[in-house]
Amino acid sequence: MKRQNSRFGSRQRYSLLAAFALVSLQTSVALAGCPSPGQWWQNERPLANSDLLTTAAQQQVVLLGEQHDDIAHHRWQLHTLAGLHALRDDLVIGLEMLPRSAQPALDAWIAGELDDNTLLEQTQWDEAWGFDSALYMPILAFARMAQIPLVALNIAPELRQRLVTDGWERVPADERFAIPPPQPASASYRSRLTEVFNQHAMGEDPESLERFIQAQLTWDTAMAQRLAEATESGALAVGLMGLGHVIYNEGVAYQLNAMGINDTASLLPWQMSNCTLPDPTLADAVYILADD
C-alpha cells in the first residue's frame, strides 16, 4: 500500500478535526450488493481478513483512524491490533492521545509498575486528552499483556502554538524534539481545512486561516516523526488517531512520505447506512461495522 506521492482549546481542536473528517466522509458510493458487518472492503470489493492483515503487516506504518468517542471504533482498533500482532512480534502502538511528556508513564505501565489510576494520573489523561479513558483501557491493557511498546505521539498544545506563532526556525531543534518543518498541505487538504474553518465562523482573517492550517500540519508532522522513529529498528508502527489525520492519506501519511516512510496503510472503520461505502480514495481499506 505505497503512498502516492488564533488559539483553540484542546476539545475545540478535536471537534474541528472531527468536523473535518465528517465533511469528507459525506462522499459515498452506492453498491449493488450490500457489504456485511465484519468485512474489509478495498476498491469497492470485499477483502478477506487474512489478506488485508497480511498486507498491512508488511508495511512500515499502519494508521487506524477513529472517532474518539465511539466505542465501536476502539473495539475495531483492538481487533485489528491483535490481528497485526499475530503476524508481527515487533509491533509498536503509537497514541495520538498523549504528548511526549507521558512516555515515562507509558513505559512504566508496560513494565507492570503502575495500576490503571496511577497511569491516568501520571499521564494527566483528562488534561491531555479529555475523552473517557474507559474507551481506551482495553487497548492499553492488551499492550501491557502482550508487552507491546506504547509510544506517545503528540506534543503539548503550548509547543504546537509556539511553532505556529513563532515559526520553526525560531524554536531550537532540541526544544521541538527535532521535529522537522511540515511539508506544505496539498491543494485538496487545504481546501477541506478551509471548509472546516469557514463552517465554524472563525472569521475571515487570512492570517487566522493560515494559523489554523499550520496548526493541523504541525500536529500531523509531530505524529509522523514519532512513528517514523518507531520504525527505525524495523518494527511495525501502528498509530491510533482521529479520522481527520488519516483520511485521503493527506495528513500523517503525507508527512511520513516526506520523511521517507513510503510503505504505509491507512485503515478506517465504516458504519453502514443505506448500503453505501465511502469514496474508495478515503482510505486504503475500510472495515464494515454494524449499523446501530
**CATH number of the structural domain spanning residue 50:** 3.40.50.11550
- Please write the tens of the pLDDT for every residue from 19-32: 555 445 555 665 55
Query: In this structure, how many other beta carbons lie within 10 angstroms of the beta carbon of residue 198?
Result: 12
- Confidence check: pLDDT of 10 > 60: no
Amino acid at site 207 = E
Q: Does 22 reside within a domain? A: yes
Domain enclosing residue 261, as ranges:
10-289
Q: Does 5 reside within a domain? A: no
CA distance linking residue 77 with residue 92, whole number of Å: 14
Site of grid cell 510503505:
263
Structural domains counted in the chain = 1
Q: Does 101 reside within a domain? A: yes
Q: Does 3 reside within a domain? A: no
Q: Which three cell numbers stand for residue 11?
A: 476539545
Query: In this structure, how many other beta carbons lie within 10 angstroms of the beta carbon of residue 131?
Result: 16
Q: Does 201 reside within a domain? A: yes
Three-state DSSP class for residue 47: strand
- Please write the tens of the pLDDT for every residue from 57-89: 999 999 999 999 999 999 999 999 999 999 999
CA distance linking residue 239 with residue 92, whole number of Å: 8
- Confidence check: pLDDT of 5 > 70: no
Question: What's the pLDDT score for residue 49?
Answer: 97
pTM of the model: 0.90
- Please write the tens of the pLDDT for every residue from 125-181: 999 999 999 999 999 999 999 999 999 999 999 999 999 999 999 999 999 999 999
| CA nearest neighbour of 14 among 99, 130, 93, 135 | 130
**Which contacts (CB < 8 Å, 24+ apart) does range 188-191 have?**
188/248, 188/250, 189/248, 189/250, 189/251, 189/254
- Confidence check: pLDDT of 15 > 70: no
The gap between the terminal CA atoms of the chain, to the nearest Å, is 30
Q: Does 4 reside within a domain? A: no
Q: Does 1 reside within a domain? A: no
Q: Does 274 reside within a domain? A: yes
- The helices-and-strands tally (H runs, E runs) of the chain is 11, 10
CA distance linking residue 40 with residue 189, whole number of Å: 26
CA distance linking residue 65 with residue 24, whole number of Å: 13
- Confidence check: pLDDT of 3 > 50: no
Three-state DSSP class for residue 287: strand
